[in-house]
Amino acid sequence: MTYTLDQFCADAHDAMEKNSGNAGRNAIRGHLEKLLINQDFVTEHLASQGSGKTLLYHDKDFDFYVMAHGTDAGNRKGKPHDHGASWAVYGQAIGLTNMTVWNRTDDRNQEGHAELAEDNTFPLNPGKAALFDTGVIHSTAHPEPARWVRVTGTNLDTIERHAYDPDRQVMKLMTPT
Ligand SMILES: [Fe+2]
């Protein structure tokens, strides 16, 4: 049986109902990998996605969002950022995302100052999903046009979160995109 978007949204809802912490978020990551191998889903919702994002589902009980994202630009490298009080699951549909996880190494006592050290970088290939739990800082790089699904614990455009510049050792509030 083909695993559909509706089935994924229902399973993600159930996962949150059972455990809204790390275990539930990891279960969503696993369910998303099942959805990403459904080529009809990828064709319908990702291949048609241009640069930008489209809402696929919002869960009214648990407030998580499922969005289709895309970029047509090659060699696109994002700034390190956190997801504020939220978490995020990224699942690759088309192309590649190079993910880098960063550790914050300063004492957090100086306003606007942040020191980051690169922890690890890994490729997220089609069919694969990764969880970035609350507090994790990561950056994304797209060497070629790409399409992906992002599930977030709430609407990231309405919460306070930060972008980081590791070279200049500064952080600033992100404005909604
Ligand atoms: Fe992110």
Give domain limits for the chain. 5-173
Ligand 1 centroid distance, CA of 136 (Å): 9
Ligand 1 centroid distance, CA of 10 (Å): 23
pLDDT at 1: 78
Crossing angle of helices 22-36 and 5-18, rounded to 10°: 170
The phi and psi torsions of 82 (rounded to 5 degrees) equal: -105, 180
Please list the alpha-helical segments (H only) found in 37-116.
Answer: 39-41
Q: What is the mean pLDDT of residues 23-52?
A: 96
CATH H-level superfamily of 5-173: Jelly Rolls (2.60.120.10)
- Whether pLDDT at 177 is above 70: no
Ligand 1 centroid distance, CA of 160 (Å): 13
* Contact criterion met (CB below 8 Å) for 132 and 151: no
pTM given for the model: 0.96
Ligand 1 centroid distance, CA of 138 (Å): 6
* Contact criterion met (CB below 8 Å) for 78 and 140: yes
